[in-house]
Structure 1
Amino acid sequence: MNLTRFARRRYTPGFTPLEAMPRLSALLGADLWIKRDDLLGLAGGGNKTRKLEFLVADALAGGADTLITVGAPQSNHCRLTLAAAAKEGLACRLVIEERVPGSYSPVALGNNLLFDLMGAESIRMVKAGSDLAAELAEEAAAVTAAGRKPYVIVGGGSNPLGALGYAACAQEIMAQAFDAGVAFDRIVVASGSAGTHSGLIAGLVALNAGIPVTGINVRRPRAEQEANVLKLAEATADLLGTPRPQAADIVALADWVGPGYSLPTREMVEAVRLVARSEGILLDPVYSGKAMAGLIALARAGAFTGERVLFLHTGGSPSLAAFADVLRDPAFN
């Protein structure tokens, strides 16, 4: 797998840590490790940084001066796109899709506060179900009309170019595992806009790693999400020029989505608290918290017996303050 032919900005010096989680492992009776992509570069870290390394490089190569993207309220992707824009001296416009009615507030804490601190040029809220491609095109047209050059980044940075960031992560994991003298039997990761999940699978297949990936869905029904992941994984492999993943490679369990995207569950709150108190690692309520809730349930059910499992931490802790009431709510504890 040759990634050197793709332009790339580097926002993280070196590899993110690969750590054992001995106290959580003892509590759950499983051999658990964590890949700390919450410690990636840019403001607050998280998985979108890897995608933006390829996407922003493409934007700069094309002479863009303005990044435009979309996300939900408290979007980690919007936060990191804005951070990349600030680092590169670019303007940035955000379209916020209010997926849960009444969930967006321009004065909210968490990532919304960071949108203001990092100087988003504009933030426009649209209702759930809006034609997001059309909304992004409208923003791009406004930038063009002002005599500037826009670069549109899809939600989550989840297109084949962005997914290369997690093909690169697959290489990184394999190199670190070799250096540490460990072998992983399974990787568990949150599955949302599909770029992280798809890129990781495309990379592992290209490397003939033989490591299954269990995705924990945070938004959609299982069949719908698995179809999305497979389609993007195939497109990413085509871009790489490597063998395509097969349907059998794709697992995106939907048992821990709860009532919907970003809506809290008791299992998520337990996961966030348990990992914070056992390992001193902060998860987020939308992605990594629900993914860890799935891992915890699977471990308690004996699904990982005899396996060494790597949890890919996709970040998101800057949004924790916006969910303080939920995390302290006795109904969820």
Structure 2
Amino acid sequence: MHVDSKKCEMFRGRHMRTYSPVMRCYGIELSNEIYIKRDDLIPFAFGGNKARIAEEFFADMKRSGKNCMIGYGSTKSNLCRVLANMCYSKGIKCHIINSEENADACTETNNSRLVKACGATVHYCTKNNVAEIVEQVMLQCEAEGYSPYYIYGNKFGKGNEAVPVQAYVKAHSEITGQYDYIFLATGTGMTQAGLLAGKRLNGTNEKIVGISVARGKIQATDTIREYLSAYYENQGLHIDLDDEILVEDSYSEGYGLYTPYILDTIKLMYLTNGIPLDTTYTGKAFAGMLSYIKENHIVGKRILFLHTGGTPLFWDNVDDIFRQRITRSMLEEFVREIDLELPVPLSQRVDIEKYVDKLYEKAHIVAKVENGKVVSAVIGYTENLTGNMSYITLVGTLPEGRHKGYAAEVLEEYMSDCKTKNIDGIHLHTELNNASAICLYKKHGFTCCTDECEGNSRKLHMVCRF
């Protein structure tokens, strides 16, 4: 079929200049007014923040006299999806570089399928050889007579930081002075940097909070500061980098990973407001925003969530989102029953409701369910780790789940999950007189480290290194 690229350009450009709508969210207000800016409805390639950002990259490519686009990201990348589609609509050659921990095991997603459908040439690499592959692709393009444009600058990903920031400097003008807080998913950091620069230039004072979907707080903050510095310098602005950069990294299981709480949040938003979120970016950020509001006792404020897109990713996990799974009430019932079995009850040391909230929102839970009830579980932490070691905070099997091999089954699954996340090992504490638990842990490679005293009980610290 013949595609008239000029007509495509006229159609796309007209719609890209329209503002995205803002909607009020119901059923999740938490004593605030919560709104959502639907950049996912920008009518090109499923929209999202990357539709705005891609526009800036293409404008810069045109100014630079280049004629071949090179993008980079994971197979889940929204930016890669939009770049490939925009290249097709403009008749521009496109190369996409996808990196994973293992280049031979890149996970196919709806985004990666759409990239291929748009005719982009896809290259796979590991995180460690991105620069090498970028250089190879650039040389290949040049050998074919093209003048390549790599969105991040040189092969090391430096030199083009100012370009994407402009997208959300412009977008900030659509929401200037209307909200007390703006929340968004923060990945590359370019969107948050744009909002912060827009806030500075427009003279507003709302708090802009990024919920990190991948990086730790320090790395994410440093990256955003680099984008801001490059943008201010590019614009000839002599502005001190004293912007308040708020990034929260405590709500993420890691890039592309998610908890039952995140799934429940996505389900709730779809059922109550008809808005799709995804497990990689927006769903994780929206869940993090709700936790942040509760933990910081924010009430009576006008709050905006920026929906940065990712609708194809919603369909990647739609079965998980709507599948029956462990609910918070199921978890609390399990914890309270296990509490009755412990030599020193948890309820003597912690507030059970707050403890369950923390587990449900931030812990990694592997459980065995019978007749709608959790009967065995291993619960621990696999993010923001000290020494890259997971800590198991609670292990237990209720009487009706014993002598069925459940304890070993959930422990083995938890250990497998940790290995998948490239965690170096696991440590835990168990009662010194709990011979059956100690035996189970030893069978799975745990060794005894120290004998510690906790209140009236003796605890054994055990470690398993992979």
TM-score, normalized by the shorter chain, greater than 0.5: yes
Q: Larger relative CO (CA 8 A, sep 6+): 1 or 2? A: 1
Matched, 1:32 2:34: yes
Aligned-residue offset at 1:41: 3.6
Q: Is contact 2:52-2:167 (8 Å) kept? A: yes
Identify which of 200, 215, 218 aligns with 2:213.
218
1:126-163, Cα deviation, whole Å (9 max, x unpaired): 12x223233222111101001112111128x9821111
1:257-268 aligned within 5 A: 257-258=252-253, 260-268=254-262
Equivalent in the alignment of 1:251: 246
Any idea what SS the aligned residue of 2:48 has?
Answer: coil
CA distance in 1, matches of 2:56, 2:14: 9
CA distance in 2, matches of 1:213, 1:222: 14
Return closer, same or farther for 1:134/1:66 CA change in 2, 3 Å cut-off: same
1:309-324 aligned within 5 A: 309-324=303-318
Return closer, same or farther for 1:320/1:100 CA change in 2, 3 Å cut-off: farther
Return closer, same or farther for 1:90/1:248 CA change in 2, 3 Å cut-off: closer
The residue type equivalent to 1:322 in the other structure is: D
CA distance in 2, matches of 1:100, 1:163: 31
CA distance in 2, matches of 1:241, 1:332: 54
Q: Is contact 2:103-2:124 (8 Å) kept? A: no
Equivalent in the alignment of 1:133: 131
Consecutive unaligned residues of structure 2, counting only runs of 5 or more, are: 1-12, 328-466
Return closer, same or farther for 1:65/1:111 CA change in 2, 3 Å cut-off: same
Any idea what SS the aligned residue of 1:125 has?
Answer: strand
Return closer, same or farther for 1:214/1:59 CA change in 2, 3 Å cut-off: same
Equivalent in the alignment of 1:114: 114
CA distance in 2, matches of 1:172, 1:247: 24
Aligned-residue offset at 1:237: 2.2
Identify which of 274, 278, 295 aligns with 2:289.
295
TM-score (norm 1): 0.86
Equivalent in the alignment of 1:17: 21
Q: Is contact 1:167-1:200 (8 Å) kept? A: yes
Any idea what SS the aligned residue of 1:70 has?
Answer: strand
CA distance in 1, matches of 2:247, 2:292: 13
CA distance in 1, matches of 2:138, 2:283: 34
Any idea what SS the aligned residue of 2:215 has?
Answer: coil
Tell me how many residue pairs correspond in the alignment.
310
The residue type equivalent to 1:47 in the other structure is: N
Q: Is contact 2:116-2:122 (8 Å) kept? A: no
1:38-187 aligned within 5 A: 38-99=40-101, 104-105=106-107, 108-120=108-120, 122-127=121-126, 129-154=127-152, 159-174=161-176, 183-187=178-182
Q: Is contact 1:206-1:243 (8 Å) kept? A: no
CA distance in 2, matches of 1:18, 1:317: 17
Aligned-pair identity in percent equals 27
1:49-83, Cα deviation, whole Å (9 max, x unpaired): 11111110121233322211111112111001111
Any idea what SS the aligned residue of 1:241 has?
Answer: coil
The residue type equivalent to 2:148 in the other structure is: P
The residue type equivalent to 1:76 in the other structure is: N
Identify which of 186, 190, 206 aligns with 2:201.
206
The residue type equivalent to 1:18 in the other structure is: V
1:267-301, Cα deviation, whole Å (9 max, x unpaired): 22122111111111111111111110111112333
1:81-102, Cα deviation, whole Å (9 max, x unpaired): 1111112110111110114787
Aligned-residue offset at 1:328: 4.3
1:150-193, Cα deviation, whole Å (9 max, x unpaired): 111128x982111110111111222xx6xxxxx31111111110
Aligned-residue offset at 1:245: 6.0
Aligned-residue offset at 1:233: 1.5
CA distance in 2, matches of 1:119, 1:296: 39
Structure 1's consecutive aligned runs of 4 or more residues displaced over 4 angstroms after TM superposition are: 99-103, 328-333
Q: Is contact 1:40-1:49 (8 Å) kept? A: yes
The residue type equivalent to 2:285 in the other structure is: A
CA distance in 2, matches of 1:11, 1:68: 24
Q: Is contact 1:256-1:290 (8 Å) kept? A: yes
Q: Is contact 1:75-1:111 (8 Å) kept? A: yes
Identify which of 298, 302, 307 aligns with 2:301.
307
Identify which of 273, 283, 299 aligns with 2:267.
273
Any idea what SS the aligned residue of 1:24 has?
Answer: coil
TM-score (norm 2): 0.62
The residue type equivalent to 1:312 in the other structure is: L
Q: Is contact 2:45-2:51 (8 Å) kept? A: no
Q: Is contact 2:196-2:243 (8 Å) kept? A: no
CA distance in 1, matches of 2:255, 2:118: 26
Return closer, same or farther for 1:158/1:269 CA change in 2, 3 Å cut-off: farther
CA distance in 2, matches of 1:313, 1:243: 31
The residue type equivalent to 1:223 in the other structure is: I
The residue type equivalent to 1:23 in the other structure is: G
CA distance in 1, matches of 2:234, 2:55: 16
CA distance in 2, matches of 1:119, 1:330: 38
Q: Is contact 1:72-1:99 (8 Å) kept? A: no
Q: Is contact 2:163-2:231 (8 Å) kept? A: yes
Aligned-residue offset at 1:198: 0.7
